[in-house]
């Protein structure tokens, strides 16, 4: 079941650019038609301006939603640290601050070229894995494992296991998972530092 959900999520992720070019609603609730295609050399400055403004508003809105979700998750995490591993609070605070700083550097305009290169390499890898899957050289499980890099999914899984342990009031497991997540977060920060240094 989990595997099917991962495949569906991967498919949606890859299909998202096509979906977002369909009719969309503007912030005032009216529907905006898909982008108007113009021939090379033709002029449609006003339409381009409207599309650019709408795209930047939509991107800003989704970025704010994501930032709010991440801030909420961080607060929840720090509350769990206070409850289960209070001796690690300073270490967690530093790791989370480093994570924010590294994310801001990665998302900054001066690193746009590195992000694009990374995205292209990742998509090429996924296409190659898809080809191997279609040819029967790898299984679906191997495809998902290799496409997501295995360890990259670790943080997500550990966080959800931690949430389940907290809900089950399993203090020992919650403390163990917090320590595991702390190590994974440190490794993630090192990976981002390496990507920025390239």
Q: What is the pLDDT of residue 177?
A: 93
Per-residue pLDDT band at 40 (split at 50, 70, 90): very low
Work out whether the CA dihedral 162, 163, 166, 167 comes out positive or negative. Answer: negative
Q: What is the pLDDT of residue 28?
A: 45
Alpha carbon distance, N-terminus to C-terminus of the chain: 38
Question: Looking at per-residue confidence, does 46 or 133 come out higher?
Answer: 133
Q: Mean of the pLDDT values across residues 16-31?
A: 44
Question: Looking at per-residue confidence, does 63 or 85 come out higher?
Answer: 85
Element (DSSP H or E) covering residue 190: helix 171-197
Question: How many angstroms separate the CA atoms of 83 and 63, rounded?
Answer: 30
Q: What is the pLDDT of residue 83?
A: 94
Work out whether the CA dihedral 184, 186, 191, 192 comes out positive or negative. Answer: positive
Q: Mean of the pLDDT values across residues 80-104?
A: 94
Q: What is the pLDDT of residue 187?
A: 92
Closest to 78 measured CA to CA, from 182, 157, 192: 182
**In 9-41, which positions are buried (b, 16+ CB within 10 angstroms) versus exposed (e)?**
ebeeeeeeeeeeeeeeeeeeeeeeeebeeeeee
Q: What is the pLDDT of residue 52?
A: 52
Whole-number mean pLDDT of the chain? Answer: 76
Give residue-wise pLDDT tens across range 143-187: 888 887 655 556 778 889 999 999 999 999 999 999 999 999 999
Torsion angle (degrees, nearest 10) of CA 124, 99, 157, 112 = -20
CB 10 within 8 A of CB 147: yes
DSSP-assigned letter for residue 155 = H
């Amino acid at each position: 079941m989990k595997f099917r959900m991962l495949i569906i999520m991967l498919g949606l992720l890859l299909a998202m650019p096509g979906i977002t070019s369909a009719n969309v609603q503007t912030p005032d609730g009216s529907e905006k038609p898909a982008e108007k295609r113009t021939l090379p050399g033709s002029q449609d400055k006003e339409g381009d301006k409207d599309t650019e403004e709408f795209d930047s508003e939509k991107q800003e809105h989704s970025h704010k939603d994501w930032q709010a979700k991440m801030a909420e998750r961080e607060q929840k995490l720090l509350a769990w640290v206070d409850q289960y591993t209070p001796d690690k609070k300073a270490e967690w605070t530093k790791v989370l601050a480093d994570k924010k700083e590294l994310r801001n550097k990665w998302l900054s305009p001066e690193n746009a070229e590195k992000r694009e290169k990374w995205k292209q390499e990742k998509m090429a890898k996924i296409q190659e894995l898809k080809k191997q899957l279609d040819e029967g050289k790898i299984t679906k499980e191997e495809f998902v494992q290799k496409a997501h890099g295995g360890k990259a999914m670790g943080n997500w899984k550990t966080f959800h296991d931690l949430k389940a342990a907290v809900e089950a009031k399993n203090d020992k497991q919650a403390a163990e998972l917090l320590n595991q997540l702390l190590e994974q977060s440190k490794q993630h920060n090192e990976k981002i530092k390496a990507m920025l240094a390239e």
